[in-house]
Amino acid sequence: MLVIRQEQMNALIKGSEDEWVEFLVSNVKKEDPELGTKYQDDELKRMVRVAIEKADSYGFVNADDQSAFVSIMFEVAPNFDDQPEIKAVLEEEQLPISYRLDKLWSDAIPDEVWEKAREEYKEEAWKGDRENAA
């Protein structure tokens, strides 16, 4: 019997890093067509790479989780995780990684927290850790 590990499945889904970035860019442009007029594709690719890096930093490495995390950054704010309630869920070590994103949409995070995250949108958060350190 052929057994495919999660890492192998993710590699199949994501393809190369560039293919994965291209896929996520097209995905966020479908979710918000205005992004295609607001940003050039090269800029969107850079932003998606920052989002992937941030998702990785929280342990979100599988395709579905990364895709959801990237969508949240574009839909809410690139610094949505600055909210203490959200950060606490993202860093909740006793909760399996696969459940952390689900918990974000539960009653654990009130709508007011998401509104505050939107209000405190910081464009510079799209620069990522590497660019902010420079």
pLDDT tens digits along 32-74 = 999 988 999 999 999 999 999 999 999 998 888 999 999 999 9
Is residue 88 situated within a structural domain?
Answer: yes
Q: For the segment 75-122, what is each residue's pLDDT rounded down to a tens digit? A: 999 999 999 999 999 999 999 988 999 999 898 899 999 999 999 999
Is residue 133 situated within a structural domain?
Answer: no
Is residue 47 situated within a structural domain?
Answer: yes
Q: Residue 65 is part of which domain span?
A: 13-126
SS (H, E, C) the chain: CCCCCHHHHHHHHHCCHHHHHHHHHHHHHHHCCCHHHHCCHHHHHHHHHHHHHHHHHCCCCCHHHHHHHHHHHHHCCCCHHHCHHHHHHHCCCCCCHHHHHHHHCCCCCCHHHHHHHHHCCCHHHHHHHHHHHC
Q: Which helix (H) or strand (E) holds 94?
A: none
Task: Dig out the tokens for 82 from the structure.
Answer: 């600055």
Is residue 60 situated within a structural domain?
Answer: yes
Is residue 1 situated within a structural domain?
Answer: no
Residue scoring higher pLDDT (16 or 23): 23
Domains in the chain: how many in total?
Answer: 1
- pTM of the complete model: 0.83
What is the percent of the chain with per-residue pLDDT over 70, rounded to a whole number? 84
pLDDT of 76: 97
Q: At which residue do the structure tokens 């009130």 appear?
A: 110
